[in-house]
Amino acid sequence: MAVSSMSDDPPRKEQQTANSWAVALGAGSELVVCALAGFFAGQWLDGKFGTGPWLMLLGAISGISIGLYRFISVSTQRGNSR
């Protein structure tokens, strides 16, 4: 027979706060990674094709757009699950 004490389990509110922080940090990290991936992919393509800063700017803008889309979709999924 297993007996669980109250001190072993974190309170429900603290667990929800920890989960909220994890979701927020994950979504924010994904936004930054998408923006940087687009930036560096555009920079690499600029070097390959000699197009100046245009593909770098296009890559950064598209990376930020994709990152914001993912950020918003994760945020709204989290809000709907409550």
State the DSSP string of 8-47.
TSPPHHHHHHHHHHHHHHHHHHHHHHHHHHHHHHHHHHHH
The string of pLDDT tens digits covering residues 27-80 is: 899 999 999 999 999 999 999 999 999 999 999 999 999 999 999 998 888 666
Are the C-beta atoms of residues 67 and 30 closer than 8 Å to each other? Answer: yes
pTM score, whole prediction: 0.74
Indicate the domain borders of the chain: 25-80
Helix (H, G, I), strand (E, B) or coil at 77: helix
Q: Specify the amino acid at residue 3.
A: V
Q: Among residues 71, 61, 76, 74, which one has the least CA distance to residue 31? A: 71
Residue 49 has a pLDDT of 95
Residue 65 has a pLDDT of 97
